[in-house]
Structure 1
Amino acid sequence: MHPTEDLIPILKKLRLSGVLESLDLRRRQAVDDSLSFDEFLYRLLYDEVERRDGKQMASRLRRANFEGSKTFDSFDFNFNPKIPKHKLIDLATCNFVNRHENVLLIGKTGVGKSHVAQALGHRACMGGHHVLYTSAHDMLTQLRASRADESFDRRMLRFVGPDLLIIDDLGLRPLRHDEPIDLYEIIRQRYEHGSTIITSNRAIDEWPPLFGDPLMASAAMDRLLHHCQVLELDGNSFRNPPRRSRQAAPPADNAA
C-alpha cells in the first residue's frame, strides 16, 4: 500500500484530511529545497490552518446574508466628499462590535447607507464575528409569520443571537400590528449583549412615533442610543447622480 493511502484513515480520524490537498506539493518542496522535517511539518500544517480559516470565513459571509459583495474597497468616497470617511474607517476596525456598541446610519435615499453597513459587516466577518444582515421589513415579516407556526422564539433568537445585527431601511414604512413590540424586544434583548447597525432615511427624532407608544418608544430609544454612534451620510444619490457626475458615477451597488 502507498504510504499516503495509509495516512488517509488516520488524517480523517484526526479531522485533518485537508492536509492531503497540499501534501504532495510540500513533499516535493521539502526534497527540492532540502527542508528540515520541522519546516516541512510547519508549512504543511500552516496550509491546513489557512484552509480552515478560509472555509470559516466563507461560512460567516454566507450566513450573513449580504446583498452581493459590498466592501469599503468598492465604495467611492470621492463621490460624496461630505461622508465622514475617517469615522467609517475607525468603525471598520470593528472595535465597536467588541464593545457591544450600536451604529445608526442616517441619510437620504441613495447616499450609500446600505453599502457602508454591509461593508462594516464584511469587516466584522473577517474579524471572526457572527453577522446577520436583514431589511427591517423582512425581519418583522418573518417574526409576524413565525407566530402562525409557533416558531416565534426560535426566529427571534436568529435576530438576537448574532454578534452584529444589521437592520436596513428602518422606517421606510409604518410599523403595524405587533411589529413595534417585536422591534422593541430585539433592541431590549440585544442591549449590551450585541452590536446593532441600523440604516434609515428618517432623522433620529422621527423614530419614536414608529413604536406607537411613548413609553415603549422611550425605553427602546434609551437602550439604542446608550453606547451608540450616530453618523449622517450626506451627498448625492449614487443611483441618480447630478448630470455632470453621471460619467464618473460608480456602480449601482454603492447605493443604500
Structure 2
Amino acid sequence: MLNQQTIDQLRALKLTGLLEAWEQQREQPQTHDLSFDERFALLVEREVLHRENRRLARLLKAAKLRVNACVEDIDYHHPRGLEKARMAALASGDWIRQSLNLCITGPTGCGKTWLACALGNQACRQGLSVRYLRLPTLFEQLRIAHGDGSYPRLMNQLLKMDLLILDDWGLQKLTAAQRQDLMEVIEDRHGRRSTLIASQLPTEHWHDYIGEATLADAILDRLLHAAHRLELRGESMRKLAAGLTDRDRPE
C-alpha cells in the first residue's frame, strides 16, 4: 500500500526517471548492498538524465532539421576544406552563445545542409533552441503571416530561437517585400541571436542577389560582420556516394 502511494505521488510530481530507477532498484537485489546515500544519488542522477533526454527530444522536434546529422560523423576524408580544429570550435557552440553568425557556402552536393543540420543538432544537445528553414519557406510563412495578422507572433518566435538556420539562400532574386522581410528578421536577431546561412552562392554575390543597394548594404553589414565563414569546395559528395566521377559520366 505504501509503495503504491509513493508511486502515485512520484507520478503526480512527474518524477518519471526517478520512479523508473526506484522500481529497477527494487528488482535488483545487488543495489541493496549500497548505502542510502548511494542509492538516492543514483535515483537523482536517473531523473536528471531523463529530463535532459526529454528536453533534447523537444528541442530536436522543434528544430525540424532537414537531415539527421551529428558532428561526430563529419567526413574529413573528402577534400572540402574542412579543418578538424575549426569544426571542433564551431561544435562547442560558443559562437551561438556570443550571438555570432555562420555562413556556409560551396557548390551543390558538398554537404552544406548536412553540416548545418549537424551543428543544429549539436546546439540542441547543448540545450539551445534551433529552427531550420529553407529561405523560400520562410518567405512564404512571412507572406501568409502578413495576410492573417500573425506576423508579430511569427517574428517573435523567430527571435526566440538561439540559432536560426536559413538554407537554400540565393536560389532566386528577391522581391521588394521579401527584401524588407529579410531585413526585419536579420535586424531583430542582430547582436541578440545567431543565424546560420547555407548557400551555393558565394558571399561576394549576395549583394546582387538581394538587389536593392541600400537594403543589401544594411542586411549584409548585420549578417556578415564578425561572422564565421566556411567556404566548401570539391566534387559533389552525392556523386561520389553513387560511385561516379566526372570521368565515369557519359558525355
After TM superposition, give the deviation of residue 231 of structure 1 in Å.
Answer: 1.5
Structure 2 counterpart of 1:168 = 167
TM-score, normalised to structure 1, is: 0.89
Structure 2 counterpart of 1:251 = none
| CA-atom RMSD in angstroms | 2.0
SS at match of 1:100: coil
Structure 2 counterpart of 1:66 = 65
- Matched to 1:121, the amino acid is G
TM-score, normalised to structure 2, is: 0.90
Q: Quick one: distance in 1 between partners of 2:131 and 2:57?
A: 14
Paired residues of 1:136 and 1:170 also in contact (CA < 8 A):
yes
Q: Quick one: distance in 2 between partners of 1:91 and 1:242?
A: 26
Structure 2 counterpart of 1:226 = 225
Q: Quick one: distance in 1 between partners of 2:157 and 2:12?
A: 33
Matches within 5 A, 1:75-224: 75-224=74-223
Offset from partner CA, 1:25-77 (integer Å, 9 cap, x none): 12344655511111111111211111111011111111100123111233322
Q: Quick one: distance in 2 between partners of 1:186 and 1:32?
A: 55
Structure 1 counterpart of 2:23 = 24
Structure 2 gap segments, 5+ residues each? 246-251
- Matched to 1:107, the amino acid is G
SS at match of 2:77: coil
Q: Quick one: distance in 2 between partners of 1:231 and 1:31?
A: 53
Q: Quick one: distance in 2 between partners of 1:85 and 1:32?
A: 43
Paired residues of 1:105 and 1:233 also in contact (CA < 8 A):
yes
Change in Cα spacing, 1:242 to 1:150, as seen in structure 2 (3 Å) is closer
Structure 1 gap segments, 5+ residues each? 248-256
Paired residues of 1:107 and 1:232 also in contact (CA < 8 A):
yes
Q: Quick one: distance in 2 between partners of 1:31 and 1:168?
A: 52
Bigger Cα displacement from structure 2, 23-32 vs 196-205:
23-32
Q: Quick one: distance in 2 between partners of 1:242 and 1:16?
A: 46
Q: Quick one: distance in 1 between partners of 2:17 and 2:233?
A: 48
Ranges of 4+ aligned residues in structure 1 off by more than 6 Å: none
After TM superposition, give the deviation of residue 232 of structure 1 in Å.
Answer: 0.4
